[in-house]
Amino acid sequence: MARRKKIYEGKAKILYEGPEPGTLVQYFKDDATAFNAEKRATIEGKGVLNNRLSEFFMTGLSNIGVPNHFIKRLNMREQLIRQVEIIPLEVIVRNFAAGSMAKRLGLEEGTPLPRPIVEFSYKDDALGDPLVPEEYIIAFGWASQQDMDDIVALALRVNDFLTGVMFGVGIKLVDFKIEIGRIWDNDYMRLIVADEISPDSCRLWDIETGQKLDKDVFRRDLGNLTDAYTEVARRLGVLPSNVTHAAKPHVIN
C-alpha cells in the first residue's frame, strides 16, 4: 500500500498530504517535550486527547465566527485541516502572570494582569523561540502592520471564547499560545487560527483548588499528565469512550 506523503514532523504532531489540494492530515503524537525539547517523554493517550480537545475548541471557534484551519476529525489521532502558510510566530495571550512572564518580571504566578496581554515569540527552535517586539516582526517582514492588527484581534477573540468555555467548567485560563496561518482565496489573503488548541498550549488551573491541568504537570513533574488532560476533557464532555485510564509516562531520554 502506498504510504502517504509526510509534509512536516514537529515535536507533538505530524502533517501529511491531505486527500484534496489545500488540505492536510494532522496527526497527534503521544510525545511531550519541554524546555525546547531538553525534556522528552512519550505519554500514552496524550495525542488522542489533544486531537479531541483541539477539535472541540476549533469547532466552537467556527461556531462563533472565528476562522480556523479545522475541517473534520478523521479518527482517534488525526484530523483534516486546511493547509496554511504558518506565520513564524507564537502568539501568546496572558490573563494572569505565569511561566516566563512571572520569571522575567519577578511576579508571583497567578497575579491578575490589568488587561489581557498579547506577546509574540519568533518560532525558531535553534534560538529557543525568543520573545520579539512587534517592530521586529514588521521590520523583518514576517507580518505587516495590518496582519498584526488582525492577529491581535483574532487572539483576543480566542481568549474571550476560551476564557468563557473554561470558566463554565470551573477552570481558569491563565494563558495560551496560538499560531496563525495565511490562506488565499484567489488573490485575497486571510489570516486564520491554525496548529492546535489543547492543554499542551494553554495554562489551565482549577478555579477552586488551583490544581494545574495542563503541560506544566509534565514540565514541573507534578503528576500524571494524561490524568490532567482527561479531567479537562471529562469536564468539557469530550472524553473519548475508550480513553478512561492513564498509562505511566515512559521517559525516552
Q: Of 62 and 100, which CB lies nearer to ligand TMP in the complex structure?
A: 100
Decide: 202 and 188 in contact? Cβ < 8 Å: no
Q: Which of 16, 67, 71, 99 binds ligand TMP (CB under 6 A)?
A: 99
Q: Which of residues 115-144 bind ligand TMP (CB under 6 A)?
A: 129
* Chain residue at closest Cβ approach to ligand TMP: 99
CB of 219: closest distance to ligand TMP in angstroms? 8
Q: Which of 14, 24, 191, 202 binds ligand TMP (CB under 6 A)?
A: 202
DSSP string for 85-149:
EE-SEEEEEEEE--HHHHHHHTPPTTPEEEEEEEEEEE--GGGT--EE-HHHHHHTTSS-HHHHH
| Residue 50 is a binding residue for ligand TMP (CB under 6 A) | no
CB of 253: closest distance to ligand TMP in angstroms? 18
Q: Is 150 helix (H, G, I), strand (E, B) or coil?
A: helix
| Residue 197 is a binding residue for ligand TMP (CB under 6 A) | no
Q: Of 8 and 184, which CB lies nearer to ligand TMP in the complex structure?
A: 8
Decide: 91 and 180 in contact? Cβ < 8 Å: yes
| Residue 193 is a binding residue for ligand TMP (CB under 6 A) | no
Q: Of 124 and 149, which CB lies nearer to ligand TMP in the complex structure?
A: 124
Interior CA angle at 200 toward 195 and 205, to 5°? 130
Q: Which of 46, 52, 177, 212 binds ligand TMP (CB under 6 A)?
A: 177
Taken as a whole, the chain contains a residue count of 253
| Residue 155 is a binding residue for ligand TMP (CB under 6 A) | no
Compute how many other C-beta atoms are within 10 angstroms of the C-beta atom of residue 68.
Answer: 25
| Residue 175 is a binding residue for ligand TMP (CB under 6 A) | yes
Long-range contacts from 60-64, C-beta under 8 angstroms, 24+ separation:
60/161, 60/165, 61/157, 61/158, 61/161, 61/193, 61/197, 64/157, 64/161
Q: Which of 101, 137, 148, 213 binds ligand TMP (CB under 6 A)?
A: 101
Interface residues with ligand TMP (CB under 6 A)? 92, 98-101, 129, 175-177, 201-203
